[in-house]
């Protein structure tokens, strides 16, 4: 068994600086040179492998196996999910079902900008994040908000701030699955710990959204929207995260939020109907509000795919299902890390019936139903795959290279060296943990990649400090979701339907202030959990 060398340079501070080279190199390629993510992660993995062999004396054969197992994990545990999630989304788009769902939703709210913001930016944005992620919620939601009279720049900011809370469970749970893969902690336990922090985090953004679109007075007169919107999302997100895992919390959270808000609007409406900026809507415009024009059958067809997805994935992946536990093949290499009193295992487990396979089954059922109902032609399936591959080939390669990089980073001892160095901060590191996640995603643009890079390092620091095992990896993931509004790669997708194409810098600067407010709020939450409820961050829940 390979034994890690924690301080190969006989100077822990210098060793930690060298261990940070792969991270800094990768982030510079992404944020400064703006290389495509797949190319940056490929080059980053080459540099990481070279340093691992040269400085940390990682055996070439065992290191090669670790990289291979990491890449395979990226393909099977993450790419397999995100690919079929986008296939499902594109099927709904090409068939017209998604447009019908959007039309139906627009007709449910009043012309009040606060109501529409909660329905579209908050609830609908969470649904899009849960299905696809990768900046698509901004791209879809911002044009809707612009049509309500919000300027392009402010509409993008509203969509971005609303997108904060759902990111950890985006793309059908890919970030949490990545975190479980690199830390070795139970997937369900990590899902629950992240869900607990996100549940508290989700209490604040609806108030910010109302303030951004209508000012202080508009926010005060629409307080039921903020309360029902936040609690509705939490009611759908938290139990699913704790008891079913990371695949569906955003989807269920958004659906329960829709139901809660639409129920509220049947019994309560803001006294004054306000436009953007808190100005009253012209009464003449109120009489022009149109219905969705859909038949009851078309409304059911619009909801049908989400019902199928929920039923199939919940039945397939829940704790009662034996399918995810089936394993056909396992391969691993292990390194001993005596100085930090643990072992580091780099493994690939081929479990054929994991969450991605459940999403594939959901898509097959949905596509068959749409074809049977005449909403889609079989020939259009080819267009779905062509569009998805065009959109995702780069992201699929990122899954290969970032996991290979992360496995080498962990297996060689680089993460262990950083953990040893950062543990000198003591319990103050609890403030640093979410900031590292925030910085990682702000530069890399991906919560999944940030968890792959920093997840094991955060776990090792927690071991060194004797903290609850899930606490620091959880804060890494939630810190990463906070940084999304200032991530260049996310912004480049998010502005694609606005006037700010290739002007991501303007958007990032505009989003910065409220993003920092949410980061401070998260740090307060982190300290609160550590001091008041550390038991929820154990792996025994």
pLDDT digits (tens, 9 = 90+) for 91-123: 998 999 988 988 888 787 778 899 999 999 999
Tell me how crowded residue 360 is: count the other CB atoms within 10 A of its CB: 18
C-alpha–C-alpha distance, residues 417 and 58, integer Å: 14
pLDDT over threshold 80, residue 51 = yes
Q: What is the mean pLDDT of the chain?
A: 90
Selection from 445, 443, 453 nearest residue 473 by Cα: 453
pLDDT over threshold 60, residue 541 = no
What is residue 309's predicted lDDT score, i.e. its pLDDT?
92
What is residue 287's predicted lDDT score, i.e. its pLDDT?
57
The angle formed by the CA atoms of residues 454, 230 and 161, to the nearest 5 degrees, is 55
Q: With b meaning 16 or more CB within 10 Å and e meaning fewer, what string describes 332-355?
A: ebebebebbebebebbbbebebbb
pLDDT over threshold 90, residue 85 = no
What is residue 216's predicted lDDT score, i.e. its pLDDT?
94
The tens digit of pLDDT for each residue in 411-438 reads 999 999 999 999 999 999 999 999 999 9
Task: Name the pLDDT band for 537 (thresholds 50, 70, 90).
Answer: confident
C-alpha–C-alpha distance, residues 344 and 89, integer Å: 37
- Over residues 354-359, mean pLDDT: 90
Task: Name the pLDDT band for 227 (thresholds 50, 70, 90).
Answer: very high
> Token digits for 263?
């129920």
Selection from 342, 399, 306 nearest residue 83 by Cα: 399
* CA of residue 176 relative to chain centroid, distance: 8
Task: Name the pLDDT band for 134 (thresholds 50, 70, 90).
Answer: low
C-alpha–C-alpha distance, residues 191 and 358, integer Å: 18
Cα pseudo-dihedral 231, 236, 238, 242, rounded to 10: 160
What is residue 534's predicted lDDT score, i.e. its pLDDT?
86
pLDDT over threshold 90, residue 386 = yes
C-alpha–C-alpha distance, residues 209 and 380, integer Å: 38
Pick 524 or 354 by higher pLDDT: 524
CA atoms within 13 A on the CB side of 406: 31
- Over residues 284-297, mean pLDDT: 72
pLDDT over threshold 80, residue 540 = no
C-alpha–C-alpha distance, residues 465 and 450, integer Å: 22
Task: Name the pLDDT band for 185 (thresholds 50, 70, 90).
Answer: very high
How many residues are given for the chain?
A: 541
What is residue 286's predicted lDDT score, i.e. its pLDDT?
58
C-alpha–C-alpha distance, residues 437 and 478, integer Å: 7
The tens digit of pLDDT for each residue in 324-344 reads 889 999 999 999 988 877 888
- Over residues 203-222, mean pLDDT: 95
What is residue 282's predicted lDDT score, i.e. its pLDDT?
72
- Over residues 165-188, mean pLDDT: 92
**DSSP class per residue in 340-406:** GTEEEEEEEEE-TTSHHHHHHHHHHHHHHHHHHTTSS-TTHHHHHHHHHHHHHHHHHHHHHHHHHHH
Strand order in the sheet with 2-3: 2-3, 329-337, 342-350
SS3 3: strand
What is residue 539's predicted lDDT score, i.e. its pLDDT?
73
User: In Å, what is the CA distance from 423 to each residue of 96, 310, 341, 457?
Assistant: 53, 42, 14, 11
C-alpha–C-alpha distance, residues 362 and 368, integer Å: 10
Helices 136-147, 152-162: inter-axial angle, 10-degree rounding: 130
**DSSP class per residue in 257-286:** HHHHHHHHHHH---SS-B-GGGPBPPHHHH
pTM for this model (two decimals) = 0.87
**DSSP class per residue in 322-339:** SGGG--SEEEEEEEEEGG
Q: Could you tell me how many helices (H) and strands (E) the chain has, helices first?
A: 25, 3
Q: Which of 30-34, 113-117, 316-320 has the highest mean pLDDT?
A: 113-117
pLDDT over threshold 90, residue 467 = yes
pLDDT over threshold 80, residue 458 = yes
Task: Name the pLDDT band for 305 (thresholds 50, 70, 90).
Answer: very high
Q: Which of 9-13, 135-139, 142-146, 161-165 has the highest mean pLDDT?
A: 9-13
- Over residues 183-190, mean pLDDT: 94
C-alpha–C-alpha distance, residues 242 and 192, integer Å: 4
What is residue 288's predicted lDDT score, i.e. its pLDDT?
58
Task: Name the pLDDT band for 40 (thresholds 50, 70, 90).
Answer: confident
Task: Tell me if 381 sits within 8 A of 428, measured CB to CB.
Answer: no
- Over residues 203-208, mean pLDDT: 97
What is residue 292's predicted lDDT score, i.e. its pLDDT?
75
User: In Å, what is the CA distance from 56 to each residue of 2, 8, 122, 340?
Assistant: 11, 6, 46, 16
User: In Å, what is the CA distance from 143 to each residue of 1, 147, 169, 205, 410?
Assistant: 56, 6, 24, 20, 42
Tell me how crowded residue 372 is: count the other CB atoms within 10 A of its CB: 9
What is residue 32's predicted lDDT score, i.e. its pLDDT?
79
What is residue 28's predicted lDDT score, i.e. its pLDDT?
84
Q: With b meaning 16 or more CB within 10 Å and e meaning fewer, what string describes 97-118?
A: bbebbbbbbbeebbbbbbbbbb
CA atoms within 13 A on the CB side of 339: 18
Q: With b meaning 16 or more CB within 10 Å and e meaning fewer, what string describes 187-217?
A: bbbbbbbbbbbbbbbbbbbbbbbbbbbbeee
Pick 502 or 50 by higher pLDDT: 50
What is residue 443's predicted lDDT score, i.e. its pLDDT?
65
pLDDT over threshold 80, residue 34 = no
SS3 124: helix
Name the strand (E) or helix (H) holding 203.
none
Strands 2-3 and 329-337: parallel
């Amino acid at each position: 068994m390979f034994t890690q060398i924690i301080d190969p340079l006989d100077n822990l501070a210098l060793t930690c600086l060298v261990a940070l080279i792969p991270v800094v190199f990768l982030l510079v390629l992404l944020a400064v040179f703006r290389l495509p993510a797949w190319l940056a992660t490929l080059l980053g993995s080459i540099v990481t492998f070279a340093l691992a062999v040269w400085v940390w004396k990682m055996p070439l054969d065992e290191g090669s196996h670790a990289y291979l197992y990491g890449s395979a994990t990226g393909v099977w545990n993450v790419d397999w999910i995100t690919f079929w999630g986008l296939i499902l989304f594109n099927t709904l788009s090409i068939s017209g079902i998604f447009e019908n769902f959007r039309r139906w939703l627009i007709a449910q709210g009043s012309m009040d900008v606060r109501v529409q913001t909660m329905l579209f930016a908050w609830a609908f944005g969470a649904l899009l994040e849960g299905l696809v992620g990768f900046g698509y919620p901004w791209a879809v939601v911002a044009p809707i908000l612009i049509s309500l009279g919000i300027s392009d720049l402010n509409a993008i900011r509203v969509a971005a701030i609303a997108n904060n809370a759902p990111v950890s469970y985006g793309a059908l749970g890919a970030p949490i699955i990545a975190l479980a893969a690199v830390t070795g902690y139970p997937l369900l336990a990590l899902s629950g710990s992240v869900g607990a922090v996100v549940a508290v985090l989700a209490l604040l953004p609806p108030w910010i959204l109302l303030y951004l679109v209508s000012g202080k007075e508009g926010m005060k007169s629409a307080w039921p929207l903020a309360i029902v919107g936040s609690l509705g999302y939490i009611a759908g997100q938290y139990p699913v995260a704790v008891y079913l895992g990371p695949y569906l919390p955003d989807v269920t959270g958004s659906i329960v939020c829709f139901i809660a808000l639409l129920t509220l609007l049947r019994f309560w409406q803001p006294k004054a109907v306000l436009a953007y900026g808190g100005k009253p809507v012209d009464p003449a415009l109120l009489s022009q509000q149109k219905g969705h024009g859909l038949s009851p059958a078309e409304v059911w067809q619009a909801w049908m795919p989400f019902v199928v997805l929920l039923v199939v994935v919940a039945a397939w992946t829940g704790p009662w299902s034996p399918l995810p536990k089936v394993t056909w093949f396992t391969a691993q290499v292990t390194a001993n890390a005596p100085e930090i009193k643990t072992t580091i295992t780099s493994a690939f487990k081929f479990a054929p019936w994991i969450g991605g396979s459940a999403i594939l089954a959901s898509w097959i059922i949905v596509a068959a139903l749409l074809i049977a109902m005449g909403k889609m032609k079989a020939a259009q399936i080819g267009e779905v795959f062509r569009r998805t591959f065009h959109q995702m080939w780069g992201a699929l390669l990122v899954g290969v290279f970032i996991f290979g990089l992360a496995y080498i980073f962990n297996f060689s001892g680089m993460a262990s060296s950083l953990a040893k160095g950062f543990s000198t901060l003591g319990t103050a590191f609890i403030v640093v943990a979410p900031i590292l996640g925030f910085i990682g995603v702000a530069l890399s643009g991906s919560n999944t990649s940030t968890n792959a890079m920093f997840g094991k390092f955060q776990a090792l620091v927690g071991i060194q400090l004797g903290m609850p095992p899930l606490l620091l990896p959880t804060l890494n993931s939630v810190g990463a979701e906070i940084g999304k509004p200032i991530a260049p790669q996310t912004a480049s997708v998010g502005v694609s339907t606005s006037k700010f194409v290739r002007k991501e810098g303007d958007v990032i600067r505009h989003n910065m202030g409220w993003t920092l407010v949410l980061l401070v709020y998260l740090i307060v939450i982190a300290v609160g959990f550590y001091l008041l409820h550390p038991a929820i961050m154990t792996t025994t829940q």
